[in-house]
Structure 1
Amino acid sequence: MPLDALPHATARRILLILMAAIYLVFGLIHVATPDPFLPIMPAWVPAPRLVVILTGVCEIAGAIGLVVPRTRWLAGVMLALYAVCVYPANLKHAFDHVAVPQLPSGWWYHGPRLLFQPVFVWWALFCAGVIDWPFRSRRGDRPATG
């Protein structure tokens, strides 16, 4: 059964469009202005400016990949991995109290941001049809795999 025919297809479609838009915007920001993000890069990251630019490219590619049905599954998996990989920068930003222009610095911002990261992993996987949780159907109309 195609993903569009599932009972939660509307939720998936809305979340997919929202996630693609968010990653596209943040990807463009990372590519266009990488320098403000350099202070939150952990010291062990080589070539931090290049890494920030490459993360932007990954965000843009992931956003495009989500909206293209043929690449959606792979894009979702890669964006989920991406969300895990950037977590050290989020931790450094929060715990080292690194000031980044135009971003808040209080725990009212960092706390929810850190807690929301696993949701970004789920969100990417759900949008791409990799997982259906928590929307499993009781009628057994799960999408075919393979």
Structure 2
Amino acid sequence: MTKLLTRETTRSVTRWLLGGALVFAGIGHLTHQREEFQAQVPDWFPVDADLVVLLSGVVEITLGLALVFVSRYRALVGWIAAAFFVVIFPGNIAQWIEGTDAFGLDTDTKRFVRLFFQPVLVAWALFSTGAWRAWRRGGTSAVLTAE
């Protein structure tokens, strides 16, 4: 029982931390870090960089709040958050390849090392919401149903 309680507590705390980080980052998209986030939008992307930053900020705030407050479809929220981290990864790659400075990432080494944190975010979203566990237990139907 204690082991289960500890695991669930760990999931909850890590989910709240990720949710808070997403809300904080999303607010940054809309305010004081807007130009920094624009640096991550690849030059080849066919949508205005500022629009991408604004929309992704709204998505981050929404996902962050969902991670904290949505319990009924928690596993689904986890998969959506993980997918979001995968979708924005090309921006991180573009920042490294194009050598764009942002967020203190002012060397190729720093920009390259940062790439390894994106899979950590994906795993964090899946673990903290129990999404991966739900998938293993029942596939898509377990993810789409209330927990």
1:17 deviates by: 1.4
- 1:47 maps to a residue whose letter is D
- 1:30 maps to a residue whose letter is H
CA distance in structure 2 between the partners assigned to 1:60 and 1:71 by the alignment: 17
1:7 deviates by: 4.9
1:86 deviates by: 0.7
CA distance in structure 2 between the partners assigned to 1:119 and 1:45 by the alignment: 28
CA distance in structure 2 between the partners assigned to 1:14 and 1:7 by the alignment: 10
Query: Does the residue aligned with 2:116 lie in a helix, a strand or coil?
Result: helix
- 1:18 maps to a residue whose letter is L
1:73 deviates by: 2.5
Query: Does the residue aligned with 1:90 lie in a helix, a strand or coil?
Result: helix
1:71 deviates by: 4.3
1:90 is matched with which residue? 92
1:77 to 2:82 alignment? no
- Does the aligned pair in 2 maintain the 1:65–1:71 contact within 8 Å? no
Q: Deviations over 1:49-91 (max 9, x none)?
A: 1111111111100110011213433321111111001111101
TM-score under structure 2 length normalisation? 0.78
- Does the aligned pair in 2 maintain the 1:66–1:73 contact within 8 Å? no
Query: Does the residue aligned with 1:40 lie in a helix, a strand or coil?
Result: coil
1:62 is matched with which residue? 63
Q: Deviations over 1:16-38 (max 9, x none)?
A: 11111111110100011423322
CA distance in structure 1 between the partners assigned to 2:112 and 2:45 by the alignment: 24
Higher fraction of helix: 2
CA RMSD of aligned residues (A): 2.5
- Stretches of structure 1 lacking an aligned partner (at least 5 in a row): none
Q: Percent identity?
A: 30
Q: Where do residues 18-37 of structure 1 align in structure 2 (5 Å cutoff)?
A: 18-33=17-32, 34-37=34-37
